[in-house]
């Protein structure tokens, strides 16, 4: 005769095994459902950030006395954008180490 723990162990193992596979299936379903929403949210955030940076660039150039719509203002915003791009590249290069 088998003792009670020896009878219970295979059954318990089967239940845990099934529960883990079921949990994995649920997690995968949630992740597959969330992926489109996450990429859409990322795109919205990137557009918003780009708009904020453009507004910031314009405000700095206006603050420095360059009237919006002038050639000088346009050149200024391009220069500020170039400075930002170089700074971001330096940060990315630093993060690589």
Domain ranges of the chain: 4-95
Q: What percent of the chain has pLDDT over 90?
A: 69
Higher per-residue confidence, 2 vs 18: 18
Give the burial class of 62: count Cβ atoms within 10 A of its Cβ; 0-12 exposed, 13-18 middle, 19 or more buried: middle
* pLDDT value, residue 96: 78
What is the CB neighbour count within 10 angstroms for residue 59? 13
Question: Are 57 and 77 spatial neighbours (Cβ–Cβ below 8 Å)?
Answer: yes
How far apart CA 97 and CA 92 sit, in angstroms, is 9
Tens digits of residue pLDDT in 35-74 = 888 888 999 999 999 999 999 999 999 999 999 999 999 9
């Amino acid at each position: 005769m088998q003792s009670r723990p020896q009878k219970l162990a295979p059954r318990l193992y089967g239940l845990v095994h099934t529960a883990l596979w079921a949990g994995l299936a649920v997690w995968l379903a949630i992740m597959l459902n969330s992926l489109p929403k996450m990429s859409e949210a990322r795109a919205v955030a990137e557009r918003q950030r780009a708009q904020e940076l453009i507004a910031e660039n314009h405000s700095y150039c206006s603050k420095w006395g360059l009237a919006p719509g002038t050639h000088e203002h346009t050149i200024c915003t391009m220069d500020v954008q170039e400075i930002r791009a170089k700074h971001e590249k330096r940060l990315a290069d630093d993060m690589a180490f």
